[in-house]
């Protein structure tokens, strides 16, 4: 296992190097396509779920679209993509959405009501599918549930997708940690997230997430699902007692982010 090294302060944030993606099946049919940005020592992970109706979670930035597309091609025909999901409107989450809609004629963005009304109705080249709180949809053998989590990790439109049959929680920026780390770990992901948050707080990336009175109830709600796998956007995915990790993350966020500004 690789310990998560410290974040580095980005010196050329608009000229990042895209490294070749690494693809790993972290759960049956859940393919993690990972690209490391060495300048900021951070992985960007995209999850391709292969099923009758394949789903991509996190499009990636426009700048990394050619690399992620090539990685998807190694698993399926990208033209067969049906669903494109993400947590919130931000370039790493959905920057290349329209590139994907261009190569996948039957693909549709799937988002919460807020994300649809506020962003996607204008941004997406084709109409998205808007989900209500706890609405489910199936892709074949898998069933996804959408849960809005406003401002967790960040953004009014934030939400998560939960694949119920295999208990995989696509948790976006929760548990973010730095380093060229392994695809899947059963190690101390909360400790890694704490280290990275501490480093973020000391530099230009401070206040990554808000901590509010609503944070703990939302994390408790996710923990109540008892996920078996956390598909994290930045860093290793996690397998183990995910409910415990989610509740411990609340303590870390409270400690790191919950104090009044100096
Ligand atoms: Fe984000
Ligand atoms: Fe992210």
Whole-number Å distance, alpha carbon 135 to ligand 2 midpoint, is 23
Residue 127 CA to residue 130 CA, distance in Å, equals 9
Q: What is the pLDDT of residues 148-167, one digit of tens each?
A: 999 999 999 999 999 999 99
State the average pLDDT over residues 118-122: 98
Q: What is the pTM of this model?
A: 0.94
Q: What CATH number matches the domain at 22-257, 1.10.287.3510, 1.10.240.10, 3.40.50.300, 3.60.15.10?
A: 3.60.15.10
| 242-257 and 189-201 helices, crossing angle to 10° | 20
Q: What is the pLDDT of residues 34-65, one digit of tens each?
A: 999 999 999 999 999 999 999 999 999 999 99
Give the contacts of 221 (CB within 8 A, at least 6 positions apart): 147
Whole-number Å distance, alpha carbon 175 to ligand 1 midpoint, is 11
Determine contact, residues 58/70, Cβ cutoff 8 Å.
no
Whole-number Å distance, alpha carbon 213 to ligand 1 midpoint, is 20
CA nearest neighbour of 177 among 193, 161, 190, 188? 193
Whole-number Å distance, alpha carbon 233 to ligand 2 midpoint, is 6
Ligand nearest to the CA of 89: 1
């Amino acid at each position: 296992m690789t310990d998560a090294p410290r974040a580095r302060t980005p010196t050329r944030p608009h000229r990042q190097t895209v490294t070749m993606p690494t693809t790993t099946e972290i759960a049956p049919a859940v393919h993690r396509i990972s690209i490391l940005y060495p300048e900021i020592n951070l992985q960007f992970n995209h999850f391709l779920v292969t099923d009758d109706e394949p789903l991509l979670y996190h499009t990636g930035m426009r700048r990394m679209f050619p690399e992620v597309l090539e990685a998807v091609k190694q698993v399926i025909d990208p033209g067969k993509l049906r669903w494109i999901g993400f947590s919130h409107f931000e370039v790493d989450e959905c920057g290349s959405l329209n590139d994907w809609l261009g190569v996948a004629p039957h693909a549709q963005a799937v988002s919460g009501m807020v994300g649809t009304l506020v962003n996607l109705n204008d941004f997406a080249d084709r109409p998205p599918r808007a989900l209500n709180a706890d609405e489910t949809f199936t892709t074949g053998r898998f069933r996804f549930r959408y849960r809005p989590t406003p401002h967790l990790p960040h953004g009014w439109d934030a939400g998560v997708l939960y694949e119920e049959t295999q208990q995989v929680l696509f948790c976006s920026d929760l548990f973010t940690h730095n380093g060229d780390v392994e695809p899947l770990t059963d190690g101390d992901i909360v400790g890694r997230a704490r280290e990275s948050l501490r480093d973020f707080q000391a530099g230009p990336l401070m206040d990554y997430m808000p901590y509010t009175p609503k944070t703990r109830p939302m994390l408790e709600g996710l923990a109540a699902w008892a996920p078996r796998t956390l598909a994290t956007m930045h860093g290793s995915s996690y397998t183990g007692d995910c409910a415990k990790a989610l509740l411990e993350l609340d303590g870390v966020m409270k400690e790191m982010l919950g104090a009044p500004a100096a």
